[in-house]
A and B are shown apart, each in its own frame.
Chain A
Amino acid sequence: MSEKLVVIGNGMAAGRVLDHLFDMDSSRYAVTLFGAEPRVNYNRIMLSPVLSGEKDFADIITHDEEWYEAHKIDLRRGRTIVSIDRAAKVVIDDSGAKTAYDKLLVATGSMPFIIPVPGKDLKGVVSYRDLDDVNAMLAAAEKGGSAVVIGGGLLGLEAAAGLSMRGMKVTVIHLTSTLMERQLDAAAGYLLQKAMEQRGIEVVTKANTKAIIGEEGSVSAVELEDGRILPADLVVMAVGIRPNATLAKEAGLSVNRGVVVDDFMRTDDADVFAIGECVEHRGQCYGLVAPLFEMAKVVAARLTDDATPTYEGSTLSTKLKVTGVDLFSAGDFAEGKDREEIVLRDAARGVYKRLILRDDRLIGAVMYGDTADSAWFFDLLKTGADISEMRDVLIFGQSFAGGAKADPMSAVAALPDGAEICGCNGVCKGTIVEAIATKQLTDVNGVRAHTKASASCGTCTGLVEQLLAFTLGDGFQKAEVEPICGCTDLGHADVRRLIIAKELKTVPAVMQELEWKTSCGCAKCRPALNYYLLCDWPEEYEDDGQSRYINERVHANIQRDGTYSVVPRMWGGITSAKELRAIADVTEKFNIPTVKVTGGQRIDLLGVKKEDLPAVWADLNQAGMVSGHAYAKGLRTVKTCVGTDWCRFGTQDSTGLGVKIERFMWGSWTPHKLKMAVSGCPRNCSESTCKDIGVICTDAGYDILFGGAAGLHLRETELLCKVTTEDACIEHIAALTQLYREQGFYLERIYKWARRVGVETIRAQVVDDTERREALFQRFVISQRTAQIDPWAERVGGKDSHEFTPIARLEIMEAAQ
């Protein structure tokens, strides 16, 4: 008599176990197989090609009718098991029928996670797990229209690509800032996003779904937390999966996240095994097929009383199955002190590779654009091979590193003459080497002038330098450009130029396209990049708080003891009884230890506890005061004197003009801080002649001055021009500021910028060239549209509240009495 084996779930794991089992012993068990799906077994991971139309369902069947017959399997398709009675050793299905077992295998897979938002049950909202889901999506795609895919992970992106190939207009919304963030780092995530966008798929990151909106029971749109409404005729939820372990749990088996199994895939009942996505092994649940293939061998062996093979966990690798997108990730790609990373970026080919090493062994790999070596790397990773011998050339892949020893420099030397060096201008190695020799070139600029190589996007500059070094030997002196920091060889000027030329609009985009050498930058380059992007794409770029110095992140100045100072704006140095009263009240209410008049004509409240900041601001806001940006690389103060209002010498309304300028320009971010002053006459009581920008009023009008300093260096201003009206004065000042914003290097004050580019060229652009001035002025106005939001009010309203409250307060540290 054969023993009775009952299998719950006819999916990939079950199929693989049975294949192995029949190979080992075809007669031992009489198998009854329950599958909730009304069909034979198929290759679930190939559903995406079915969705996109690249394959038919028939192509992906793994076990056809004949197979079940040949193995005398009693296949109960469309039958769901509703309970297991372990005492009686029977399973009960949804028709109420009982089926007895000697051995039971639970292979119930996992369930798509449905986010509990209003509208989740509307018609047209589907998950992505089985053929029924694919059919529902295909039916929707027939009618065209728009689809919103919630979730930018593996499944979501495959669904998006498929639907897009079927002619729908697809938007993917994703919670975090980069796609597939669990498998990819930010750079690879950026490239992936670009590839999706090139397919016409819109990607909305940092988007949280608030509700799904319906009309007459069917879905019509998705509403995001930020209020945006995305029209949708179909919504695919692909936010994750969770092990389908309820049945096992109700049967009293031990279940955490999944059904707990040992290294033999046994549950805590010796006659019940579990496998696949429904299990938890050594604390780990899996969502890919590789582990279950390994598990299947162990289960089959165990069912035939062979106790030798054990399952010890799997190392995972991921590939995305979207035609034309090559992407691979495996292992552990976190950074760490004991780890080293090797990054290779080839912007022209859209290639990004990153290897993580520890103790001379490969422990993680991310590859985008060129995954030809993924198998080789994955093998090195799994076997833990010592790579010290080939470390320098490892990243170039098997053909390079696996072969004879070579160093990167000789790699350039070994390139054939026809090898393309500059992709933009199609210049090959031979042309450059020849130009160096015949034209006696000695630097990159010479090569640029004569061959155009490296003259466009500039990313081949490194290669051109290597060719110069290789051709000239010691005769080559590399041009001294001070790089922004250790993360790049590019200086500020190149980075600024390339951000515009290549329309780079996010930090990961800059780092990828400009071949950053680290994966996420450092405290020097990130604030600079954040500023450049903010300045260059004012209405598109979203500020990255984590790339800002603490003062700009929390909108107050950190003090030596970790408390903060608060400086409200006092427009042009003018205040009122109401403001002073509010300042006095807030000082008493929050026990603020010091109140000081600053050198910038306003009042500083020093020693405020961080947690108190929002409440202090709320009170100041109440009295009409906003942040004075005393912390900002942006507009600080516009000092004024009393002018024609009171002073017997005043020639113009210096106070009024100062207030106007401050009200117009506050909130603008600049490369470094920007301080101004307006004096009512040449006696210059507001010290206009040592400010970044100053105005001195005269009987004839206004002298506009710039480039002064009175800090680490003392410098007198230069005259920009003389104008006769307040409006002209403001237009010139704003245009000058905009030019500085667009050309200045991060942390370069106006006087240093003027010295670098020349006072004359600044005058030519701001004063002589009327058109240029107007354009600059317009760009300043545009960027102010989104800049003038009081950061204090925003935070009083709840923004970044995590900054101001501890995540927890511990009170239990003391030993018990």
Chain B
Amino acid sequence: MNAPVAGFVDVGAVVDVPLRGSRVVSSPRGDIAIFKAADGVVFALRDACPHKQGPLSQGIVHGHSVTCPLHNWIISLETGEAQGADHGCTGVIRLRIENGRILLDVSALAVAA
């Protein structure tokens, strides 16, 4: 039986992600970057820039965007889309915050991968 593991998985505490920073969740299907914006909102994207797969987790977070460390594309943390003149989109991973913990939607990840 092929039953994909469904639902949300606890990947850590919100306080463990630095403000205006990010952390990586490693997975066999590629890394996921968890971001925390200056206002405390948490986001998750695939850790690969739509340009040349740069690790977005290593970028500078400003507003609800991150600047890719390799060639400075600016990616929206909300939609995963490149901003301005650049085009491309990286996958957004759904998440929930419960009792200060971050829960990632891994089923979506498995399908999308």
Task: Indicate, yes or no, whether A interacts with B.
Answer: yes
Write the nearest CB–CB distance from B65 to chain A, whole angstroms: 8
Docked Cα-Cα span, A550 to B21, in Å, equals: 11
Which residues of chain B are near A549, meaning CB under 8 Å?
A: 60, 69
Write the nearest CB–CB distance from B88 to chain A, whole angstroms: 16
- Contact present for A527 and B25 (CB under 8 Å): no
- Contact present for A333 and B39 (CB under 8 Å): yes
Write the nearest CB–CB distance from A814 to chain B, whole angstroms: 7
- Contact present for B23 and A806 (CB under 8 Å): yes
Docked Cα-Cα span, A548 to B21, in Å, equals: 11
B95 within 8 A of partner (CB)? no
- Contact present for B62 and A522 (CB under 8 Å): yes
- Contact present for B38 and A520 (CB under 8 Å): yes
Q: Which of B34, B37, B53 contacts A335 (CB 8 A)?
A: B37
- Contact present for A550 and B24 (CB under 8 Å): no
Which residues of chain B are near A816, meaning CB under 8 Å?
A: 1-5
Which residues of chain B are near A523, meaning CB under 8 Å?
A: 59-60, 62, 67, 72, 74
Docked Cα-Cα span, A523 to B59, in Å, equals: 9
Docked Cα-Cα span, A546 to B37, in Å, equals: 11
- Contact present for B39 and A810 (CB under 8 Å): no
Chain A residue nearest to B55 (CB atoms) is A562
Give the most central of A338, A545, A550, A811: most B CB within 10 Å: A550
- Contact present for A334 and B12 (CB under 8 Å): no
Main secondary structure of the interface of A (DSSP, over half): loop
- Contact present for B60 and A526 (CB under 8 Å): yes
Interfacial residues of chain B within 62-90, with CB under 8 A of chain A in the complex: 62-64, 67, 69-70, 72, 74, 76, 78-79
Chain A residue nearest to B98 (CB atoms) is A283
What 1/0 mask marks residues of chain B from 1 to 45 whose CB sits below 8 Å from any chain A CB? 111110001111000111111011111110110100111110000
Given A336-B78, A807-B17 in contact, is the A812-B25 Cβ separation under 8 Å? no
Which residues of chain B are near A333, meaning CB under 8 Å?
A: 39
- Contact present for B110 and A814 (CB under 8 Å): yes
Write the nearest CB–CB distance from B112 to chain A, whole angstroms: 10
Write the nearest CB–CB distance from A813 to chain B, whole angstroms: 5
Give the most central of B17, B26, B34: most A CB within 10 Å: B26
Give the most central of A518, A527, A815: most B CB within 10 Å: A815
Docked Cα-Cα span, A219 to B76, in Å, equals: 50
Docked Cα-Cα span, A518 to B38, in Å, equals: 12
Write the nearest CB–CB distance from A525 to chain B, whole angstroms: 9
Which residues of chain B are near A562, meaning CB under 8 Å?
A: 53-55, 58
Which residues of chain A are near B31, meaning CB under 8 Å?
A: 806
- Contact present for B19 and A546 (CB under 8 Å): yes
Inter-chain CB contacts under 8 Å: number? 134
Which residues of chain A are near B12, meaning CB under 8 Å?
A: 807-808
Size bin of chain B's contact surface? 35 or more
Docked Cα-Cα span, A181 to B17, in Å, equals: 16
Which residues of chain B are near A548, meaning CB under 8 Å?
A: 60
Docked Cα-Cα span, A523 to B64, in Å, equals: 12
Docked Cα-Cα span, A232 to B86, in Å, equals: 56
Main secondary structure of the interface of B (DSSP, over half): loop
A349 within 8 A of partner (CB)? no
Docked Cα-Cα span, A181 to B40, in Å, equals: 9
Interfacial residues of chain A within 547-564, with CB under 8 A of chain B in the complex: 547-551, 554, 558, 560, 562
- Contact present for B76 and A337 (CB under 8 Å): yes
- Contact present for B62 and A334 (CB under 8 Å): no
Q: Which of A522, A809, A812 contacts B5 (CB 8 A)?
A: A812
- Contact present for A550 and B58 (CB under 8 Å): yes
Chain A residue nearest to B34 (CB atoms) is A807
Docked Cα-Cα span, A234 to B41, in Å, equals: 36
A755 within 8 A of partner (CB)? no
Q: Which of B28, B40, B53, B63 contacts A518 (CB 8 A)?
A: B63
Interfacial residues of chain A within 769-817, with CB under 8 A of chain B in the complex: 802, 806-816
What 1/0 mask marks residues of chain B from 46 to 62 whose CB sits below 8 Å from any chain A CB? 00000011110011111
- Contact present for B70 and A810 (CB under 8 Å): no
- Contact present for B106 and A813 (CB under 8 Å): yes
Which residues of chain A are near B70, meaning CB under 8 Å?
A: 558, 560
Docked Cα-Cα span, A806 to B55, in Å, equals: 13
Hey, which bits of chain A sit against chain B, CB under 8 A? 176-177, 181, 185-186, 333-338, 518-523, 526-527, 545-551, 554, 558, 560, 562, 802, 806-816
30 CB contacts below 8 A, A to B, read A176-B19, A334-B39, A335-B39, A336-B78, A338-B78, A518-B63, A520-B20, A520-B63, A523-B59, A523-B60, A546-B61, A554-B58, A558-B55, A558-B70, A562-B58, A802-B23, A806-B23, A806-B31, A807-B16, A807-B17, A807-B25, A808-B25, A808-B26, A810-B32, A810-B106, A811-B27, A813-B113, A815-B5, A816-B1, A816-B5
Please list the 7 inter-chain residue pairs (A to B) with the smallest Cβ-Cβ separation, ordered nearest first. Answer: A523-B67, A808-B11, A807-B23, A810-B27, A546-B20, A550-B58, A807-B12
Query: A519-B63, A560-B70 known; 17 other A-B pairs, CB under 8 Å?
Result: A337-B76, A518-B63, A520-B38, A520-B62, A523-B59, A526-B60, A526-B62, A546-B20, A548-B60, A549-B69, A558-B70, A562-B53, A806-B31, A810-B9, A810-B11, A810-B104, A813-B109
